[in-house]
Amino acid sequence: MKKNLIFSSIVALFVSVTTIGLFQYFYSDSKSITIQHVDSPSSKNAVFSLDNTGNAISIDFNETAKAVLDGVVHIKSSHLYSGNNINFQYQNIPDPFKDFFGEQFFSPRKQQKRKDDYLKKSPTRVGTGSGVIISKEGYIVTNNHVVAEADDLEVTLHDNRTYKARIVGTDPSTDLALIQIKAKDLPTVPITDSDQVNIGQWVLAVGNPMGLNSTVTAGIVSAKGRNINILKDKYAIENFIQTDAAINPGNSGGALVDLNGGLVGINTAISSPTGVFAGYGFAVPANIVSKVVKDLMEYGLVQRGVLGVMIRTIDGNFAKEKDIELTQGVYVDSLLENSAAGNAGIQVGDIIQLVDNIEINSSPELQGVIARYRPGEKVKIKIYRNGREKEIIVTLNNREGNTSMLDKDTRAIIKVLGVELEKVDSKVAAKLEIDGGVKVKKLYSGKIRKYTQMRDGFIITKVNGKKVKSKDQLIDILENKEGGVMLEGIYEEIPGEYFYAFGMP
């Protein structure tokens, strides 16, 4: 027993001495630890992707971010709280007091001064978003929900210069808007062909999320032709590009770009149970953006062609239900009155496969392609009917069932006012006991919406005390008008007379 104890002690001592010796050998002061520093990652420019032409492009987000950041802006939108509208006290002005308001009262300079003073004193709701500079002359595309009902817009560039902005036009159907700042030689983001964007390709989202200006996130195109039922407009067009690049509140109106710095889409929405990024972001495709911008610049509103069909996306279950051989495409469920498609020979039960050689697999894709055209333009549609394919040329209508667009001779004043007008029907006039008038069918961005509380459907009976009975007569009065304008009229469903005042430059 005593011998075993002595032996164990000797073994323990030997192990301890050996351990200390080895530690001193490997970790003595004479040994130094070297930490190597690398000036740049060795993997830089080592990963490549292929573009649509087969050329290799480096997956280097640095250069793309540098090229795009200067072309993406921060937008601050200020809106007076409901009930504090600057013009509310001028809307229902009784006849005896009209003469009190002279030309000077409605001068643009005085109106702007009153507006600025009121904004300083009144409670306001402030929202923020992003925008993309598409023209050196200061045109910026953003989302409609970023600038809608704004009383004041302030744009901050990447280099921190700030400008006041005006709304050129809006399109609630696609949630897009065009604004302009007074600046020249600005950096721009070029618009690319979004039809050439592929699922799985790299994209960057650039914007100002959650107050974090000039933020860049990376991801891929997750899907195309998405409809998430987020737009509330009656004629909403949802054909979103889906991406997993992080998009959050404040990114709205910002850029989704490819690795060449080309604008793929305008970031618009997220799908999230929490209200912040949960892996899914959505952008309006650049081809739709391009069409909307052109129309807003030229007309002040969007000229949109329609097929005049009710449609359904075909899937496996629907194909079985209808005994259809195909499982992809868009099924024509019914034709509307004065349908452009019906007039061209398209029938209920036809399956739309291609539009101008663009493959159509879903209803959102068909809506997105048709949204690029104006009334009167022709599209080539390939359909499948009774086991055979057929090509049909369709001349698109407008929403009223004809091919006419806004009269170009009147678009200047229409753009300034921001209205769509039509003559009051004689039966409606008799019912309302008026001699006639001009109905404001639709309000867009313009002087009337900006400076009054007029609603869609208002019937103008007098301008500055003079009766008007036709659209042309109203335009003749206002086209070269300077100073104050008083519109008098009624609503078909609301009792009483209403007066709306604003100034013309």
Listed in order, strand segments (DSSP E) in 82-144 are: 124-133, 139-143
Q: Calculate the CA dihedral of residues 42, 45, 48, 49 and round it to 10 degrees.
A: 140
* Annotation marks residue 158 as catalytic: no
Q: Is 430 helix (H, G, I), strand (E, B) or coil?
A: helix
Which residue pairs from 419-422 have beta carbons closer than 8 angstroms and sit at least 24 positions apart in sequence?
419/443, 419/444, 419/446, 419/448, 420/301, 420/444, 421/471, 421/474, 422/471
Q: Which residue in the list 130, 222, 252, 339 is annotated as catalytic? A: 252
Q: Which residue in the list 79, 151, 173, 175 is annotated as catalytic? A: 175
Residues contacting residue 277 through CB under 8 Å, at least 6 positions apart: 246, 247, 248, 270
* C-alpha angle 502-504-505 in degrees, rounded to nearest 5: 140
Q: Is 111 helix (H, G, I), strand (E, B) or coil?
A: helix
Q: Which residue in the list 130, 145, 171, 173 is annotated as catalytic? A: 145
* Annotation marks residue 222 as catalytic: no
Which residue pairs from 52-61 have beta carbons closer than 8 angstroms and sit at least 24 positions apart in sequence?
52/196, 52/198, 57/259, 57/260, 58/259, 59/202, 59/259, 61/204, 61/216, 61/218, 61/259
What span, in angstroms and rounded, lies between the C-alpha atoms of 290 and 356? 18
* Annotation marks residue 159 as catalytic: no
CA distances from 250 to 106, 147, 169, 271 (A): 36, 12, 21, 15
- Residue 484, beta-bridge partner list: 503
What span, in angstroms and rounded, lies between the C-alpha atoms of 85 and 50? 54
Cβ–Cβ < 8 Å for 419, 446: yes
Cβ–Cβ < 8 Å for 443, 429: no
What span, in angstroms and rounded, lies between the C-alpha atoms of 279 and 270? 8
Residues contacting residue 119 through CB under 8 Å, at least 6 positions apart: 78, 80, 86, 151, 152
Which residues are part of the catalytic machinery?
145, 175, 252
